[in-house]
């Protein structure tokens, strides 16, 4: 959405916006448009849902952001396209580049403005912008990269040389495959740092005393040793023992209950710290 709005604000004529079809949401099952469609309609722009609707389109350039599918070569031959890709290519080509960069513990990530080819994220690079990852959550990174990508897009199009020819990608390519449920599951065999990165993905969960718990926020505790799979308390908040240290829970949500501070949840859970373990679905006996 930031890229779409930035193009319009910069004075480019956006002739068509392509986004997914409306989806049914809520109890009533009413059709709901995507955020992109809503933004386009507010800007007075036409919206289509199929690539076939681009047949005969009179346009100079296509701009792709988070489309989630390969585009056919026949379309790319008729209409050159650039992609605002959220990684520092060739690292993290594919579906989940921001999440994979965070999980891998990369120091930085960024945005590449690249030419689209039939193959996955292999095209030439026209411009790049970087940012540090630090302790940012995936939500914070996505928001930052969306804004950074929009700025990079309009600045490059407005530059004296425009897109130019671009430069080929150099370096080892890595692939950002889609996340699965296991990518969000916290396990005692992982390092405390990795567990913290999983939590920053936003959908982390584990089992404590056999209860499924969403971990909304947590941080690594240095200088404290807790055996993997065991629990301890620090300032009334639970500590999860990991492969190399401990993770202190801050905000959690037990399945079927409201979110709460971890210390409050622990008091209400009435579990025995000495006999309760974490990571296993079955209740410890």
Structural domain boundaries in the chain: 2-176, 181-269
**Alpha carbons 4 and 65: distance in angstroms, whole number:** 9
Judge whether residue 13 has pLDDT over 90: yes
pLDDT for 281? 79
Percent of the chain with pLDDT over 90: 84
pLDDT for 282? 59
Judge whether residue 275 has pLDDT over 90: no
pLDDT for 280? 86
pLDDT for 24? 87
pLDDT for 71? 92
DSSP 201-232: TS--EEEETTEEEEEEEEEEETT----TTBEE
Q: How far is CA 210 from CA 49, 183, 226, in A?
A: 44, 19, 19
Fold of 2-176: Rossmann fold (3.40.50)
**Alpha carbons 241 and 12: distance in angstroms, whole number:** 54
Question: Tokens for 211?
Answer: 């209860």
Percent of the chain with pLDDT over 70: 99
196, 202, 203, 207: CA torsion to nearest 10: 30
Average pLDDT over residues 255-281: 91
pLDDT for 162? 85
Supply the pTM of this predicted model: 0.91
Judge whether residue 164 has pLDDT over 50: yes
Average pLDDT over residues 208-227: 93
**Alpha carbons 17 and 40: distance in angstroms, whole number:** 7
- Beta-strand pair 108-115/237-241: unpaired
Q: What share of the chain is helix, strand, coil (3-state, %, to 5)?
A: 25, 30, 45
**Alpha carbons 231 and 284: distance in angstroms, whole number:** 12
Average pLDDT over residues 194-221: 96
Matching residue, tokens 């039939």? 118
Judge whether residue 236 has pLDDT over 60: yes
DSSP 54: G
**Residue 102 near residue 110 (C-beta atoms within 8 A):** no
Average pLDDT over residues 119-136: 96
In this prediction, residue 284 has a pLDDT band, given cuts at 50, 70 and 90, of very low
Mean pLDDT estimate for the chain: 94
Judge whether residue 191 has pLDDT over 50: yes
Q: What is the pLDDT of residues 57-102, one digit of tens each?
A: 999 999 999 988 889 999 999 999 999 999 999 999 999 999 999 9
Fold of 181-269: 3.10.25
pLDDT for 283? 47
């Amino acid at each position: 959405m930031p890229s779409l709005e930035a193009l319009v604000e910069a004075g480019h004529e956006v002739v068509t916006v392509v986004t997914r079809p409306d989806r049914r949401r809520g109890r009533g099952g009413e059709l709901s448009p995507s955020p992109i469609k809503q933004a386009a309609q507010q800007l007075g722009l036409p919206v289509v849902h199929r690539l076939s609707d681009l047949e005969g389109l009179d346009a100079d350039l296509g701009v792709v952001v988070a489309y989630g599918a390969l585009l056919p070569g026949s379309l790319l031959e008729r209409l050159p396209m650039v992609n605002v890709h959220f990684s520092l290519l060739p690292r993290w080509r594919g579906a989940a580049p921001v999440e994979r960069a965070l999980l891998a513990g990369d120091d930085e990530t960024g945005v590449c403005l690249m030419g689209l080819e039939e193959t996955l994220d292999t095209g030439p690079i026209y411009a790049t912008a970087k940012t540090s990852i630090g302790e940012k959550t995936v939500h914070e990174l996505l928001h930052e990269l969306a804004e950074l990508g929009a700025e990079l897009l309009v600045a490059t199009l407005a530059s004296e040389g425009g897109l130019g020819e671009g430069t080929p990608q150099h370096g080892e390519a890595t692939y950002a495959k889609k996340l699965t449920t296991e990518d969000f599951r916290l396990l005692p065999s992982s390092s405390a740092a990795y567990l913290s990165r999983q939590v920053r993905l936003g959908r982390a969960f584990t089992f404590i005393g056999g209860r499924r718990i969403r971990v909304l926020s947590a941080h690594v505790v240095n200088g404290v040793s807790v055996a993997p799979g065991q629990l301890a308390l620090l300032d009334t908040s639970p500590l999860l023992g990991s492969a190399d240290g401990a993770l202190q829970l801050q905000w959690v949500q037990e399945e079927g209950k409201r979110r709460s501070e971890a210390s409050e949840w622990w008091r209400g859970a009435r579990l025995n710290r000495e006999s309760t373990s974490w990571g296993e679905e079955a209740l410890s006996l």
